[in-house]
């Protein structure tokens, strides 16, 4: 279990370094009229992460299809599928954390 969590954390860090998923406080394109640094909200971050995970899955599928048609090298296929797997593991880890947080809030006495 520890290895898979560390694996997911490393994948997230690598994606964030390459500009994949924006991190809080990161300078992004500012919407019109804002003078301060734009900080994306949690739903925007989550939506971006899910969109990129879906795109990684599509790339993996297209590379697999290209390999079957002998138009792609095997290492390209393996890399694309591994990227899709890491993106999915990251999304699942975030989902699990959100569910655990919700359950913890529901257990709190009022």
pLDDT at residue 16 greater than cutoff 80 = no
When the pLDDT of each residue in the chain is averaged and rounded to a whole number, the result is 78
Task: Among 16-20, 46-50, 66-70, name the one with the lowest average pLDDT.
Answer: 16-20
Instruction: Tell how many helices (H) and how many strands (E) occur in the chain.
Output: 3, 0
Q: Are 70 and 104 in contact (CB under 8 A)?
A: no
What's the pLDDT at 63?
A: 92
- Spatial separation of the C-alpha atoms in residues 13 and 24, rounded to whole Å: 13
- Spatial separation of the C-alpha atoms in residues 99 and 35, rounded to whole Å: 35
- Spatial separation of the C-alpha atoms in residues 87 and 53, rounded to whole Å: 5
Q: How confident is the model at residue 44 (pLDDT cuts 50, 70, 90)?
A: confident
């Amino acid at each position: 279990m520890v290895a898979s969590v560390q694996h997911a954390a490393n994948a997230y860090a690598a994606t964030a370094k390459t500009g994949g998923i924006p991190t809080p406080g990161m300078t992004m394109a500012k919407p019109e009229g804002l003078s301060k640094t734009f900080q994306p909200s949690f739903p925007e971050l989550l939506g971006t992460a899910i969109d990129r995970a879906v795109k990684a899955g599509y790339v993996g599928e297209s590379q697999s299809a290209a390999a079957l048609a002998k138009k792609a090298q095997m290492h390209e296929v393996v890399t694309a599928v591994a990227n899709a797997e890491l993106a999915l593991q990251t999304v699942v880890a975030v989902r699990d954390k959100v569910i655990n947080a919700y359950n913890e809030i529901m257990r709190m006495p009022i």
